[in-house]
């Protein structure tokens, strides 16, 4: 399906502009519309969705502030005294249906223009299909036929996968979009239809069949039915819990991706923070060692100071005693009283013999010569080694002092290095933008992971309880059937109930199988397309799409990388998913992307644009850009490769199109 023509009249900035999206031979089916902010790029997208579904899906505050009916048209009407003015958007679409190859849609809104106000009065639509067999245009007037004709070609449910704004591509996998995504997929795969059919059968069984059965039933049947009802209520409560758990799981999953995105801006922050803490501890330890060393040094110096204070006295004393000892003036130990006793008795104190005159004189000379007592002499001599030890100690002082000083210098140096490292880390930490948010995200991610595990346990427990209830229900239904067979009046109702149950069982089987099949096919197809398009061929290994459509993208080391992907890679994954979705659902539509590279960094723009060019070889791609986005890189890739190129110009709030 492709848009051939888009005509916008009196809609917001547009007075009267026609976009002709004809495909040029030999060129990719790519169409570029360039426009400054405010010229109506996004309102071009809104015009399309309004024309198709009477919805302006991309109406932000900025666009909503522009009057729906063009202000110049209002002024002109007032000037000419005209009361009714219309705005309209018309589209000509080439479909994939050979029998109805073209579709024309024109939605018109009428306004009552008063001097001070403008009131909308009516919105109407014209839908025409070109029938190839009759070779004519067939107009539909019935409202339901008009809308179903549009939906047959461009299903409302998938319009978000055809008409994008660039920001949406980047936010594709965030929580809020996932539910929409799941609904869209369920619509595309008709799982929603199955759900509706199932509910219709379920409602009929509960509200119509069950009361009728009760009416004609007996006590045993009533009792079993009450029990069934009770079990069904229990099951409904468990299913509601399960749904809650699943929602919680999806929400936690989305939170984790969000935290990963924040963390990925500086994955090493926590490591740096830890290193900083270790450095701080090292600094404190070194500082402690220095304080201890300084204390030891003070004590040592104080001790040595005492010794040094007495040094001159010690030195003179030592020199004197040593000199006297060297001269032999310090006699060995004699017992002077014994010598005197020997002289008085004139007998030798050892052998008892009478002393000779020579011996007597000799003893007398010895006694005379002893100027100091021998005891003092001994003590003086004994003090010499002590004195020497003190001198030795004092001689060691410079060596010991140097060793203390060396150690102190070493510690001071180490502290300086550590301090420098701390300063550097501090600078690094301070320079990290959003540091607090990253740390916060790291902690929250840990909490979320724990909560996720608890939630998964809850889901497991819920499933287990549901399984038991189902077993009980099966048994009760079997009993009920047996009882009902006994009651003839019941046979018709029983058959109806059984028929409804069988239909429900088939629908459940089809639904479950379709859901799993679709998810697996989209998963495979998305990764295949992504691998074809991505410029980093060896980085990613697989995609995993969860039951709740949570996306996981793994690298070759089996690490989840979606959170840390660049905006371009994420947008490309979204694009791959969209193409896969269109393939799987069999709705091959165009792609309309408003500002596709708004969030893509400069280095990846070329890659991304080349990808879009590849896509445009097989389907229509309409892109809108601001002049800033349409930079040298983008222009080089697209120039000469587009089927049409137009520029939106704005003069006094009115947009015109310049085609080149």
Given the rule CB under 8 A, which residues bind another protein?
144, 148, 151-152, 155, 189-190, 193-194, 196-197, 200-201, 203-204, 208, 492, 495-496, 499-500, 502-503, 506-507, 509-510, 513-514, 517, 586
String of DSSP letters for 523-592: HHHHHHHHHHH-S-TTTEEEEEE-TT--EEEEETTS-B-GGGS-HHHHHHHHHHHHHHHHHHHT----EE
CB of 98 to another protein, least distance (A): 15
Nearer to another protein, 214 or 444 (CB): 214
**Could you identify the residue written with the tokens 């080694």?**
385
Tokens of 37: 């902010």
**What angle, 0 to 180 degrees and rounded to 10, lies between the N-to-C axes of helices 219-264 and 435-486?**
160
CB of 583 to another protein, least distance (A): 13
CB of 586 to another protein, least distance (A): 7
| H-helix or E-strand spanning residue 419 | helix 374-431
Nearer to another protein, 147 or 541 (CB): 147
Q: Answer whether 8's CB lies under 8 Å from 17's CB.
A: yes
Who contacts 437 (Cβ-Cβ below 8 Å, separation ≥6)? 262
CB of 518 to another protein, least distance (A): 9
Sign of the Cα pseudo-torsion (630, 631, 633, 636, in order): positive
Tokens of 345: 């008795």
CB of 517 to another protein, least distance (A): 8
CB of 554 to another protein, least distance (A): 28
Alpha-carbon distance of 572 to 596, in angstroms, equals 10
Nearer to another protein, 200 or 285 (CB): 200
Who contacts 373 (Cβ-Cβ below 8 Å, separation ≥6)? 336
Nearer to another protein, 89 or 581 (CB): 581
As a whole number of Å, the CA-based R_g of the chain is: 50
CB of 493 to another protein, least distance (A): 10
Alpha-carbon distance of 29 to 2, in angstroms, equals 9
Nearer to another protein, 348 or 503 (CB): 503
Nearer to another protein, 250 or 522 (CB): 522
Nearer to another protein, 12 or 519 (CB): 519
Nearer to another protein, 123 or 200 (CB): 200
Nearer to another protein, 201 or 257 (CB): 201
Alpha-carbon distance of 195 to 504, in angstroms, equals 10
CB of 480 to another protein, least distance (A): 17
Nearer to another protein, 197 or 461 (CB): 197
Nearer to another protein, 163 or 630 (CB): 163
Which string of b and e fits 60-99 if b means at least 16 CB within 10 Å? eeebeebbbbbbebbeebbeeeeeebbbbbbbbbbbeeee
CA atoms within 13 A on the CB side of 418: 19
Question: What residues are paired with 655 via a beta bridge?
Answer: 14, 650
CB of 200 to another protein, least distance (A): 4
Nearer to another protein, 484 or 575 (CB): 484
Which of 657, 595, 588, 563 is closest to 265 using CA atoms? 563
CB of 638 to another protein, least distance (A): 34
The sheet carrying 84-94 orders its strands as: 16-20, 2-9, 84-94, 102-113, 118-131, 136-140
Sign of the Cα pseudo-torsion (531, 535, 537, 542, in order): negative
3-state secondary structure of 109: strand
CB of 155 to another protein, least distance (A): 6
Alpha-carbon distance of 320 to 21, in angstroms, equals 122
Nearer to another protein, 451 or 510 (CB): 510
CB of 185 to another protein, least distance (A): 13
Query: Measuring CA to CA, how many Å separate 205 from each of 140, 181, 258, 399?
Result: 38, 31, 44, 103
Alpha-carbon distance of 70 to 90, in angstroms, equals 16
């Amino acid at each position: 399906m492709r848009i051939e023509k888009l005509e916008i009249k009196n809609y917001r900035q547009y007075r009267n502009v026609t976009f002709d999206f004809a495909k040029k031979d030999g060129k990719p089916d790519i169409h570029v519309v360039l426009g400054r902010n405010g010229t109506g790029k996004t309102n071009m997208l809104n015009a399309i969705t309004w024309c198709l579904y009477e919805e302006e899906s991309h109406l932000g505050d900025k666009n909503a502030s522009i009057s729906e009916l063009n202000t110049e048209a209002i002024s002109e009407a007032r000037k000419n005294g005209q009361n009714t003015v219309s705005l309209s958007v018309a589209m000509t679409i080439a479909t994939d249906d050979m029998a109805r190859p073209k579709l024309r849609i024109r939605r018109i809104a009428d306004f009552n223009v008063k001097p001070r106000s403008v009131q909308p009065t009516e919105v109407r639509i014209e839908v025409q299909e070109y029938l190839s067999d009759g070779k004519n245009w067939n107009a539909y007037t019935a409202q339901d036929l008009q809308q179903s004709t549009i939906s047959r070609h461009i299903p409302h449910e998938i319009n978000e996968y055809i008409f994008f704004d660039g920001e949406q591509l980047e936010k594709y996998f965030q929580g809020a979009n996932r539910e929409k995504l799941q609904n869209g997929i369920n619509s595309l795969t008709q799982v929603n239809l199955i759900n509706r059919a199932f509910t219709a059968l379920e409602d009929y069984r509960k509200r119509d069949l069950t009361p009728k059965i009760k009416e004609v039933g007996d006590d045993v049947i009533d009792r079993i039915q009450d029990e069934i009802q009770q079990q069904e209520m229990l099951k409904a409560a468990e299913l509601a819990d399960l749904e809650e758990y699943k929602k919680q799981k999806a929400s936690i999953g989305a939170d984790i991706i969000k935290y990963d995105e924040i963390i990925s801006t500086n994955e090493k922050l926590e490591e740096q923070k830890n290193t900083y803490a270790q450095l701080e501890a090292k600094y404190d330890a070194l500082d402690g060692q220095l304080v201890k060393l300084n204390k030891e040094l003070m004590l040592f110096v104080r001790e040595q100071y005492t010794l040094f204070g007495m040094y001159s006295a010690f030195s003179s004393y030592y020199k004197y005693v040593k000199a006297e000892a060297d001269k032999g003036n310090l006699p060995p130990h004699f017992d002077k009283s014994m010598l005197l006793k020997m002289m008085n008795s004139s007998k030798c104190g050892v052998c008892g013999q009478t002393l000779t005159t020579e011996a007597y004189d000799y003893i007398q000379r010895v006694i005379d010569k002893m100027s100091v007592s021998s005891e003092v002499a001994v003590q003086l001599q004994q003090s010499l080694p002590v004195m020497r030890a003190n001198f030795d100690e004092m001689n060691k002082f410079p060596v010991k002092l140097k060793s203390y000083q060396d150690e102190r210098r070493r510690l001071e140096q180490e502290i300086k290095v550590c301090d420098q490292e701390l300063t550097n880390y501090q600078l690094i930490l301070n320079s990290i933008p959003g540091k607090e948010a990253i740390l916060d995200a790291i902690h929250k991610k840990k909490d979320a992971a724990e909560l996720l595990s608890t939630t998964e346990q809850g889901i497991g427990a819920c499933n287990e309880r549901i399984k038991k209830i189902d077993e009980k229900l099966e048994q009760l239904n079997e009993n009920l059937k047996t009882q009902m067979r006994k009651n003839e009046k019941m046979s018709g109702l029983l058959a109806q109930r059984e028929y409804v149950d069988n239909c429900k069982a088939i629908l459940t089987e089809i639904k479950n199988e379709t859901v799993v099949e679709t998810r697996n096919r989209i998963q495979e197809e998305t990764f295949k397309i992504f691998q074809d398009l991505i410029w980093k061929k060896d980085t990613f290994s697989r995609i995993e799409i969860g039951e709740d459509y949570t996306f996981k993208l793994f690298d070759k080391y089996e690490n989840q990388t979606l959170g840390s992907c660049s905006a371009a890679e994420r947008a490309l994954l979204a694009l791959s998913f969209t193409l896969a979705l269109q393939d799987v659902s069999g709705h091959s539509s165009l792609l309309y992307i408003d500002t596709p590279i708004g969030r893509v960094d400069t280095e990846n723009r070329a890659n991304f644009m080349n990808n879009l060019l590849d896509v445009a070889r097989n389907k229509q791609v309409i892109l809108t850009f601001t002049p800033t986005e349409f930079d040298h890189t983008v222009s080089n890739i697209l120039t000469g490769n587009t089927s049409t190129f137009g520029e939106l110009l704005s003069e006094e709030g009115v947009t015109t199109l310049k085609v080149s």
